[in-house]
């Protein structure tokens, strides 16, 4: 139904009330008519059904103060000639370009495929084929695909390019996804003019529903591609190379836009979600962007201080251990951890842990005894100030 027809429709007359009827009068009139005309009360009576729809439509507008105001305003302007056919008024486009007022709003969308709005009132009632959402009127986007991959610790930390084998429907290589036999091409569906939806006039109001001729795709294939039978999609195994960014952690899911299943007949592809598993490393651990590392040291090294050579993701680094460092202390090396997405890197956290010798030769034992005497003489008591003493 065009907007002109819509404006010319008299919703007041439909409900049998005057144009200055009160909200209460409108409600009463609608209730009575709805009861009398309800399909349950008139099985098989298509005339009553038509009337019921018309009445419901009228009520949907007149019972809503905002919609009623716009409707009244539009009718008033239309009657006064403000919206003649040449006055910026268009059908199907949703809106009066020149009027500063959009009738499409009344129906919650454009004229062809308004989502929600009045259509929904009837959709449930008459078991109309639902799916009036925008997606049903366009070729369908491909599905998302999920897969997983296992990376080494260092690969995950630094980022890596890995091949992934995927078996999934993808755009048919024979017809390049069009679904039409090579040398031919799909033609625009004449019934819906390629929009994928058709309007049906029902009493005062037009309904949009998916076009049956083209199953809502908007195009018709006369000679289908023999490899994909017109779907534009074939099942195939493909290997894609995926760049996994640095810093992914175990169990993380990364999204690769457009790498999922191909859409039907050239519609956009879905996304690929890759769940990443990370093998533990023999040396490093992770704490967010920080890399952790435990370095065995001797007691003497902690007492006297030393410089340790420790591995990093891309080489080695010297870590200064100050004299008198306690066992278990964590030394921080800034910027030598896991690379961050936006640049920079986390820190390398080095834990020093005393390794106690299990076996020493006699001279070492003798020297240690001498040392302990000297330590005592210098006033060191390991349990001084200990609460358990």
Question: Distance (Å, rounded) from C-alpha 22 to C-alpha 259?
Answer: 58
- Which of residues 145 and 180 has its CB atom nearest to Zn ion in the complex? 180
Does 34 carry a binding-site annotation? no
- What's the closest the beta carbon of residue 195 comes to Zn ion, in angstroms? 7
φ/ψ of residue 310, rounded to 5: -120, 150
- Which of residues 61 and 189 has its CB atom nearest to Zn ion in the complex? 189
Does 189 carry a binding-site annotation? yes
Question: Distance (Å, rounded) from C-alpha 37 to C-alpha 40?
Answer: 8
Strand ranges in 211-304 using DSSP code E only, listed in sequence order: 219-220, 233-244, 253-256, 272-278, 285-287, 290-297
Q: Are strands 348-354 and 330-333 parallel, antiparallel or unpaired?
A: antiparallel
Cβ atoms of residues 342 and 285 within 8 Å: no
Contacts of 212 (CB under 8 A, 6+ apart): 191, 198
- What's the closest the beta carbon of residue 117 comes to Zn ion, in angstroms? 22
- Which of residues 235 and 370 has its CB atom nearest to Zn ion in the complex? 235
**Which residues, listed in sequence order, are joined to residue 198 by a DSSP beta bridge?**
209
- What's the closest the beta carbon of residue 6 comes to Zn ion, in angstroms? 23
Which positions touch Zn ion (CB under 5 A)? 172, 174-175, 189, 191-192, 211, 213-214, 225, 227-228
Does 172 carry a binding-site annotation? yes
Q: Are strands 348-354 and 290-297 parallel, antiparallel or unpaired?
A: parallel
Does 62 carry a binding-site annotation? no
- What's the closest the beta carbon of residue 169 comes to Zn ion, in angstroms? 11
Does 339 carry a binding-site annotation? no
Does 222 carry a binding-site annotation? no
DSSP 3-state assignment of 27? helix
- What's the closest the beta carbon of residue 128 comes to Zn ion, in angstroms? 17
Q: Which residues are annotated as a binding site for Zn(2+)?
A: 172, 175, 189, 192, 211, 214, 225, 228
Known binding-site residues equal: 172, 175, 189, 192, 211, 214, 225, 228
């Amino acid at each position: 139904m065009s907007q002109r027809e819509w404006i010319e429709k008299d919703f007041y007359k439909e409900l049998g009330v005057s144009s200055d009827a009160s909200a209460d009068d409108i409600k009463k009139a609608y209730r009575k008519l709805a009861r009398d005309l309800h399909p349950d009360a008139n099985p098989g009576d298509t005339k009553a059904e038509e009337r019921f729809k018309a009445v419901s439509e009228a009520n949907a507008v007149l019972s809503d103060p905002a919609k009623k105001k716009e409707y009244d305003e539009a009718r008033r302007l239309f009657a006064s000639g403000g919206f003649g056919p040449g006055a910026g008024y268009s059908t199907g486009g949703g809106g009066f370009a020149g009027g500063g007022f959009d009738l499409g709003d009344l129906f919650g969308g454009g004229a062809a495929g308004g989502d929600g709005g009045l259509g929904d009132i009837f959709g449930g009632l008459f078991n109309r084929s639902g799916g009036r959402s925008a997606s049903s009127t366009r070729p369908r986007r491909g599905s998302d695909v999920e897969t997983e991959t296992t990376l080494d610790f260092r690969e995950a930390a630094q980022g890596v390019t890995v091949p992934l084998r995927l078996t999934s429907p993808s755009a048919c290589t024979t017809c390049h996804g069009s679904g039409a036999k090579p040398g031919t091409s799909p033609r625009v569906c004449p019934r819906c003019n390629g929009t994928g939806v058709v309007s049906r006039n029902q009493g005062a109001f037009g309904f949009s529903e998916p076009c049956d001729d083209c199953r809502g795709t908007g195009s018709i294939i006369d000679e289908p591609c023999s490899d994909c039978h017109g779907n534009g999609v074939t099942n195939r195994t493909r290997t894609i190379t995926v760049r996994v960014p640095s810093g992914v952690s175990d169990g993380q899911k990364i999204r690769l836009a457009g790498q999922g299943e191909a859409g039907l007949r050239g519609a956009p592809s879905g996304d690929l979600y890759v769940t990443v598993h990370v093998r533990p490393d023999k040396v490093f651990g992770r704490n967010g962007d920080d890399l952790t590392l435990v370095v065995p040291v001797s007691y003497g090294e902690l007492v006297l201080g030393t410089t340790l050579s420790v591995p990093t993701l891309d080489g080695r680094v010297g870590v200064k251990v100050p004299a008198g460092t306690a066992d278990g202390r964590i030394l921080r090396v800034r910027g030598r951890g896991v690379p961050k997405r936006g640049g920079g890197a986390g820190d390398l956290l080095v834990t020093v842990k005393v390794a106690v010798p299990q076996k020493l030769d006699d001279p070492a034992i003798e020297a240690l005894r001498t040392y302990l005497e000297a330590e005592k003489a210098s006033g060191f008591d390991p349990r001084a100030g200990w609460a358990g003493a």
